[in-house]
């Protein structure tokens, strides 16, 4: 905003630092503008992580969502260029209670507030995020909007709550949203095997094609650390393009939107399963596997978002503390084996391999007659925890086993 523009406005409007949060059910909260000034609308969700706000902001799975941080103090460690999970901030808006007045960390390169301004992310601070979270837990996620700066004014007067709420009500719903193509890379790229913490790169053990539905940068990194060459391809990749890369395994990433709308991705995965190429999926990739097998998906009341969610691995009976970011889940039988419903059961038997202990949500699927498995959470877990990192090793074991099986059948 230029000085001339500021002087052209009424003094009250020019000096107004107010921000207003409006939910579609009519609830409002008034605080201070944080980050960019303006208007933003989207599905409003809450994240329970105590750390990792930079990774949260840059997670493509938050596309078209306004994120409420339940931890009260945000911005303490500033922002750096090493921790982002993608090339930009993806959240539609940001809600915090008590932003740091200054960043205090040796790795900090700039303040969070400045970064939000630079990337045009509208936020609000100084509101009761605990009360807001309780409201969302009781009534479920809903659309919301943040309004500040000139967006709060019209014809020299403050806009009414009714006007702001009408803008929120006009925003698209998350149910039915097909968003992967909006966050996916447009050009394929390759991540070669890489050493951990500056160490020597491991020997090449295999090749994986990762379909980018909103992939976080740490995911191919975790695969590369284990000696895998990772070809990351757009969500629009065809089965012929994937097969041409001669993969030992195929990976489907996390991503935003409603899995019920992901028809192209489901059909692509069925092509992978039909060729018996070992498959591993996380988050959205778990939901896509569920749909490819013929199970349904549904929208959770308020979702799982944070880095402190307990999940049981039913194979080992161990409980893991895990990182989550999902608002949809797979509807599959929790107990015992079931036959995948698709096409008369041609994909064979399936078990729910992992289950969330807070609400018994399906957190993983394992095919017993196909080389395929998936989990709903994030084993790459930048910002932690790392309890589930073994899943990348399990993927390598699956690929190795499939090679041995194919080799034995050819002899």
- The CATH number of the domain holding residue 10 is 3.50.30.20
Residue range 272-277: mean pLDDT, rounded: 98
Over 50: is that where the pLDDT of 2 sits? no
- Residue 375 backbone phi and psi in degrees, to 5: -135, 155
State whether 333 and 250 are in the same domain: yes
State whether 121 and 231 are in the same domain: no
**Does 174 reside within a domain?**
no
Helix count and strand count (H, E) for the chain: 12, 22
- 231, 265, 283, 366: the catalytic one is 283
Identify the weakest region by mean pLDDT among 27-41, 187-201, 208-222, 304-318.
187-201
What does the mean pLDDT of the chain come to?
Answer: 94
Last residue of a domain, one of 119, 135, 169: 169
State the distance between the two ends of the chain, measured CA to CA, in whole angstroms.
72
- Which tokens is 403 given? 């090679």
According to DSSP H, which parts of 282-345 are helical?
284-292
Q: Write down the residue that tokens 């500056």 correspond to.
A: 198
Tell me if 327 is assigned to a ligand binding site: yes
Tell me if 257 is assigned to a ligand binding site: yes
**Does 175 reside within a domain?**
no
State whether 63 and 156 are in the same domain: yes
Give dist(CA 101, CA 98) in Å, integer.
9
pLDDT digits (tens, 9 = 90+) for 168-193: 999 999 999 999 999 999 999 999 99
pTM of the model: 0.94
Count of domains observed in the chain? 2
Domain range enclosing 378: 180-410
Check: CB of residue 48 under 8 Å from CB of residue 310.
no
Helix (H, G, I), strand (E, B) or coil at 252: strand
Tell me if 61 is assigned to a ligand binding site: yes
Q: Is 82 an annotated catalytic residue?
A: no
Last residue of a domain, one of 127, 146, 169: 169
Give the domain CATH number at 324: 3.40.50.880
Helix (H, G, I), strand (E, B) or coil at 84: coil
pLDDT digits (tens, 9 = 90+) for 377-404: 999 987 778 999 999 999 999 999 998 8
Q: Is 283 an annotated catalytic residue?
A: yes
pLDDT digits (tens, 9 = 90+) for 209-263: 999 999 999 999 999 999 999 999 999 999 999 999 999 999 999 999 999 999 9
């Amino acid at each position: 905003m230029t000085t001339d523009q500021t002087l052209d406005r009424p003094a009250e409007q020019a000096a107004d630092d107010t921000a207003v949060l409006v939910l579609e059910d009519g609830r409002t909260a008034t605080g201070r503008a944080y980050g960019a000034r303006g208007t933003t609308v989207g599905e409003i969700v809450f994240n329970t992580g105590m750390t990792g706000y930079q990774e949260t902001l840059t997670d493509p799975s938050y596309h078209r969502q306004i994120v409420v941080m339940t931890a009260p103090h945000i911005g303490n460690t500033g922002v750096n260029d090493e921790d982002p999970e993608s090339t930009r901030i993806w959240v539609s808006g940001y809600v915090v209670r008590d932003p740091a007045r200054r960043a205090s960390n040796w790795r900090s390169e700039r303040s969070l507030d400045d970064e939000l301004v630079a990337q045009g992310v509208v936020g609000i601070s100084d509101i009761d995020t605990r009360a807001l979270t309780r409201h969302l837990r009781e009534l479920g996620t809903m659309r919301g909007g943040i309004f500040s700066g000139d967006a709060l004014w019209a014809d020299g007067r403050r806009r009414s709550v009714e006007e702001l709420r009408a803008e929120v009500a006009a925003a698209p719903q998350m149910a039915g949203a097909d968003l992967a193509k909006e966050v996916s890379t447009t050009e394929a790229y390759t991540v070669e095997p890489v050493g951990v913490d500056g160490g020597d790169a491991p020997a090449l053990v295999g090749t994986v094609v990762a379909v980018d539905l909103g992939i976080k940068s740490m995911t191919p990194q975790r695969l590369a650390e284990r000696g895998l060459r990772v070809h990351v391809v757009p969500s629009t990749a065809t089965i012929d393009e994937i097969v041409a890369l001669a993969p030992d395994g195929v990976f489907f990433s996390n991503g935003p939107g409603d899995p019920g709308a992901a028809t192209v991705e489901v059909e692509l995965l069925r092509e992978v399963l039909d060729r018996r190429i070992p498959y591993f999926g996380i988050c959205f990739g778990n939901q896509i596997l569920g749909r490819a097998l013929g199970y349904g998906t549904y929208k959770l009341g308020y979702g799982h978002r944070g880095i402190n969610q307990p999940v049981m691995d039913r194979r080992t009976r161990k409980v893991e503390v895990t990182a989550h970011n999902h608002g949809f889940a797979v509807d599959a039988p929790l107990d015992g084996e079931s036959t995948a419903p698709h096409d008369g059961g041609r994909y064979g038997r399936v078990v729910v391999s992992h289950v969330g202990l807070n609400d018994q949500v399906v957190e993983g699927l394992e095919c017993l007659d196909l080389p395929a498995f998936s989990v709903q959470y994030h084993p790459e877990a930048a910002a932690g925890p790392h309890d589930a990192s073994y899943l990348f090793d399990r993927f390598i074991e699956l690929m190795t086993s499939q090679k041995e099986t194919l080799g034995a059948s050819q002899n």
